[in-house]
Structure 1
Amino acid sequence: MDDLAGFLRTRRSRVDPAAAGIPTDSRRRVAGLRREEVAHLSGVSVDYYVRLEQGRATQPSEQVLDALARVFGLDETERGHLYRLARQRRRPAKAPSRKVRPELLRVLDLVPDAPALIMNHRLDVLAGNRMAGLLFGRPMPGLNTARHLFLEEDEGGLYADWEQCSLDVVGHLRLAAGHYPDDPRLAALIGELAMGSDRFCRLWARADVRARTHGRKAYRHPLVGLLELHQENFALPDDSGMELVVLSAAPGTPACDGLRLLAGLDSDDSQPAPNARFLHSHPHNPAVGQ
């Protein structure tokens, strides 16, 4: 799904030669740096760097990775991604279980006034509270937000910042592919998105990586209008790959009023998801006990 060679090629193409101290002229035909320029700036032989980009050199040292990260100007997220890709053959990470502990489902019920959900590294929603179901207008288990964004919605749909959301989602999936290269479900999802969305294909080819932590998230709800919310992501313990995601609004804001309106919607009007307690008790819920 992702590899060190491809990541190096995309990062090399984005470096401004002038910023790296390399004179340029109108005859230059290469976007970014040449391979030999990267080798010179990072202090490795041209032959070794060429083999890295061709996938023929394995297990580069910490010193080489640090030098390449410096030459490419990688941020903290990209640097961590580079290191994971370089170590895939040594310590491949197994895809975590989809099992959601009952205690986590009870936590969702403790957030009654804001949408809250549990997602895995593939952006599958494994469980959500009543407010999450009201926001998305559908049951939570079975929803994949990447598929929803690229294959079911468009720029005029639920996601008010659709273009920015698409950048964030592709960047997250790139990180997930680097962390779980042997996850067949993730590979199938990426293939499905690539087949069904031209924008996904273009963004995936850029090989950008993004870490999801917190920030603004805006939705256009068909019944309550624009909701400008704050998203907070809480990574769950035990290296499960899961996150608790809470979408909140500051008191006294239009978004806070919108959430109150959302909470008062009738379930028949908006097709909300079952709440977390129902998810815990239902014997056929695929998110529990797998």
Structure 2
Amino acid sequence: MDGELGDFLRSRRARISPEDVGLTSYGRRRVPGLRREEVAQLAGVSVDYYIRLEQGRGPSVSDAVLDAVARVLRLDETEHAYLRTVARPDARRTPARRTPARTEPTARRVRPGLRLLLDLFDRAPAFVLGRRMDVLAWNALGDALSGFSRMPAAERNMPRQAFLDPGARELYPDWPAVAAETVAHLRLDAGLHQDDKELAALVGELSLKSEDFRRLWADHQVKAKTYGVKRMAHPVVGALTLPYETLAVPGEPDLSLVVYTPEPGSETAERIALLASWAAGGNAPEPRVER
């Protein structure tokens, strides 16, 4: 996406004050945070070089320079990796990872063995995420919890559900945190696939229709959703506290397996078991949305 590197660096500069890095603040500042000149000084590069980097005109920038900038801007591990990716997108992308032009849904890309693995989780809701956080496949319990099979294919997308479904705020008691994590993960995907027209269209749609999405997208937060806990107010079985694990799929760099892991013996586990019995009997309830 055009300007991604510069926008990211400016947003990281804005969150650090001169005092945070041992500098004395002087003069009136038109914008918050560090100036470009200060970042360049602390990173040990020329001001012109750093300006060219922010403008995306430094394709041959070295690891040492990026590491120095990351140190100055206090980037965490995910942000550091993201910086390297957006600073040198062509160097980080092999031909096999280039985003292909697609006109059909990608659900058929989920191989049979992975679908079988989903079905083996008989006590845990599970689903497969693809590019742009599209939901591509799920098990019976995941469907009973989330209602994926009853959604139009175009709506099986995490960001779209979080920001455009009016029931999402009721379903997620921690909706602000869920929304922020969703946008941070989507931006991470955007950095890896800067030429993805479908992703750009999704961002454009959400920006147009949701003020909350526009605000969060402008923050330039990046975060991988590898594990965590999600609270849900399910419309049938009630309050659920669901730890989850997100697993990489070997041989499928664009896919991930998400498994909810309710604590054995907990009230949530009992309610998930009730949901499973309904699913097995073909009487699964009608959830509003899922993430």
TM-score, with structure 1 as normaliser: 0.87
Given that 2:275 and 2:284 are in contact with CA atoms closer than 8 Å, whether structure 1 keeps it comes out as no
How much identity, in percent, do the aligned residues show? 46
Unmatched 5+ stretches in structure 1: 273-290
Further displaced range: 98-107 or 151-160: 151-160
CA deviation profile, 1:99-154 (whole Å, cap 9, x unmatched): 01101111111011111111113111111111111111341772111111110145
Aligned-residue Cα RMSD (Å) equals: 2.0
Structure 2 CA distance for partners of 1:38 and 1:26, relative to 1, 3 Å? closer
CA deviation profile, 1:155-204 (whole Å, cap 9, x unmatched): 64222221111111111111101111122222221111111111111111
Q: Paired residue for 2:73?
A: 72
Q: Paired residue for 1:280?
A: none
How does 1:40-79 map onto structure 2 within 5 Å? 40-79=41-80
How far off its partner does 1:35 sit? 0.9
Q: Give 1:15's aligned amino acid.
A: I
Q: Give 2:206's aligned amino acid.
A: L
* Number of aligned residues: 272
How far off its partner does 1:26 sit? 7.9
Provide the rounded CA distance (Å) in 2 between the counterparts of 1:257 and 1:90.
49
Provide the rounded CA distance (Å) in 1 between the counterparts of 2:226 and 2:243.
11
1:221 and 2:237 are equivalent in the alignment? no
How does 1:225-264 map onto structure 2 within 5 Å? 225-264=238-277
How far off its partner does 1:210 sit? 0.3
Q: Secondary structure at the match of 2:244?
A: strand
Given that 2:144 and 2:284 are in contact with CA atoms closer than 8 Å, whether structure 1 keeps it comes out as no
Provide the rounded CA distance (Å) in 2 between the counterparts of 1:40 and 1:140.
56
Q: Give 1:109's aligned amino acid.
A: D
How far off its partner does 1:28 sit? 3.6
Given that 1:172 and 1:211 are in contact with CA atoms closer than 8 Å, whether structure 2 keeps it comes out as yes
Higher helix share: 2
1:100 and 2:110 are equivalent in the alignment? yes
CA deviation profile, 1:46-68 (whole Å, cap 9, x unmatched): 11111222233332111110110
Given that 1:250 and 1:256 are in contact with CA atoms closer than 8 Å, whether structure 2 keeps it comes out as yes
1:204 and 2:204 are equivalent in the alignment? no
Unmatched 5+ stretches in structure 2: none
Q: Paired residue for 1:136?
A: 146
TM-score, with structure 2 as normaliser: 0.87
Provide the rounded CA distance (Å) in 2 between the counterparts of 1:204 and 1:120.
20
How far off its partner does 1:23 sit? 1.3
Q: Give 1:186's aligned amino acid.
A: L
Provide the rounded CA distance (Å) in 2 between the counterparts of 1:30 and 1:162.
30
How does 1:140-219 map onto structure 2 within 5 Å? 142=153, 143-154=156-167, 156-219=169-232
Q: Secondary structure at the match of 1:56?
A: coil
Q: Paired residue for 2:90?
A: 89
Instruction: Give the ranges of 4+ consecutive aligned residues of structure 1 lying more than 6 Å apart after TM superposition.
Output: none
Instruction: For CA contacts below 8 A with separation 6 or more, give which structure has more relative contact order.
Output: 1
